Amino acid sequence: MKTALTIAGSDCSGGAGIQADIKTMSALKVYAMSVITSAVAENTKGVLSQQPLPASSVSDQLDAVFTDIKPDAVKVGMLPSVECMRVVADKLAFFRPSHVIVDPVMYAKDGTPLMQKDATSEFIRTVLPLATMLTPNIPEAEVITGLKIGTIDDMKEAARRIFDLGIRSVLIKGGHYEGEAVDVFYDGRFTLFECERIATKNTHGTGCTLSSAIAALLARGSAPVEAVRGAKEYITEAIRHSLDIGGGNGPLNHFFDYMGDKKKADYTLYLVTDRGREDRDEDFLSRIEQAIKGGVTTVQLREKTLGAEFFALAKKVRRLTLRYDVPLIINDRVDVALAVNADGVHVGQGDLPCAAVRRLVGDRMMIGVTAHSLTEAIKAQADGADYIGVGAMAGSSTKSDAKVISGDELNGIKCGVNIPIVIIGGINASNIASFKSPQLAGAAVSSAIMRSDDPCKAARELKRLWQE
């Protein structure tokens, strides 16, 4: 088991500091330990007070950790006083951990200073030289270098100056930079990490989380640049799934892979994707996007011909559905559904049993099961399915071997289960209205949208016909 230590302040609201660090390290499968430097009374709205711990207590905590469970990596966060900095620097110099990621925590999210005014020079003199990686944001990099940063080139110059102080690698975080979020990494050569800027106010603890994720991945053996890359991917999803709790800047969802409410799905117009062999990813994604704009309420990614590249495609579709807040269901591939953190997975009668899928995906993820008979529908419900796909309703161009279900069979299923029923197979604008029923949650459509010249218009018309 790999281990990591965080040396930081305590955030009683759980969004930043020690609490965020431990959550991050645990989520990334590293055993987390902590040394508390300050008790900070804060919440999503701001800092009420802070009480630095005595330097002797910090020293004892460090001895307790290093003389028993030596960490594979150390993350250093809030160091509130000169005395605390000296103790931490002395212990790190003595115990010499392989990786020391220093996040120079100078200010809280609300602007409250978290480092004493006279401590900056001491930090640069004693702590900074022990870092194997430094992760300042732009204001912190300006304080350390004395350089005014307004461009990407300025960020590069600041990284170069910090590197020249003897630090092996530097990551200047671009969250304060205008435009797309760009982080500059330098270890003798530059690597720029660009990612989308997610529209959310819930970013409490982002700096703590990123540096802790880097520490965890370094502890697991990643090279520095790959640790940064992996940490960026992790924090992007933690922000994307951030928790809208509290009255201010809410916290990230550090356990987005393991926790969270099950998305409430609207099955009214359920798109089952249909990708032609010659389709470029861009064209395929464009058709899905147009369909969503036309009124598609749930997307199922179904792909029977792709192999390893299916995962890459699923990630792209996931980003698209998150942008429009539409649930994404992965057909058959439970592994891919888990890997891209989809909202659900749909399985047929020849795939993994529903009960086994539920054990794999937990309670957060939706499970849909194809049922052709009342017996199959009742079993799916008993095994934990959230909805049932029933069909085929008519001849289907995407599933030529599909058996058309009779009206009596469909009525039996309607009466026999109390979870949502979505009809599927051969549904188009000419017949969708004939299948409408109060007991049906929606209709799943594939070719009538995906092979249309105008997916947006086709989806809008199908939804109108179903809802009239």
Tell how strand 190-195 and strand 47-52 pair up: unpaired
Map residue 216 onto helix, strand or coil: helix
CA 338 to chain centre: 12
At residue 160, φ and ψ (nearest 5 deg) are -65, -40
Predicted confidence at residue 278, as pLDDT, reads 61
Tell me which of 8-12, 213-217, 356-360 is least confident. Answer: 356-360
Tell me which of 28-32, 104-108, 144-148 is least confident. Answer: 104-108
119, 234: one domain: yes
Is residue 263 a part of any domain in this protein? no
Predicted confidence at residue 20, as pLDDT, reads 97
318, 434: one domain: yes
Is residue 247 a part of any domain in this protein? no
pLDDT bin (cut points 50, 70, 90) of residue 260 is low
- pLDDT tens digits, one per residue of 406-433: 888 999 999 999 999 999 999 999 999 9
Predicted confidence at residue 444, as pLDDT, reads 96
Predicted confidence at residue 111, as pLDDT, reads 62
Write down the residue that tokens 């309420």 correspond to.
297
In the predicted model, what is the mean pLDDT of residues 327-349? 92
Distance of alpha carbon 185 from alpha carbon 193, whole angstroms = 8
Is residue 254 a part of any domain in this protein? no
28, 169: one domain: yes
Q: What mean pLDDT value characterizes the chain?
A: 91
103, 162: one domain: yes
Is residue 279 a part of any domain in this protein? yes
DSSP assignment of 88-146, as one string? Answer: HHHHHHHH--S-EEE----B-TTS-B-S-GGGHHHIIIIIGGG-SEE--BHHHHHHHH-
Would the pLDDT of 178 be above 60?
Answer: no
Q: Which run of H or E residues covers position 269? A: strand 269-272
CATH code for the domain of 99: 3.40.1190.20
* Domain of residue 164, residue span: 3-240
Predicted confidence at residue 105, as pLDDT, reads 82
Pick the more confident residue, 77 or 257: 77
334, 221: one domain: no
How many structural domains is the chain composed of?
Answer: 2
Is residue 286 a part of any domain in this protein? yes
Could you give the residue numbers annotated as active site?
173, 203, 205-208
- pLDDT tens digits, one per residue of 115-141: 766 778 899 999 999 999 999 999 999
- pLDDT tens digits, one per residue of 287-326: 999 999 999 999 999 987 667 788 889 999 998 998 888 9
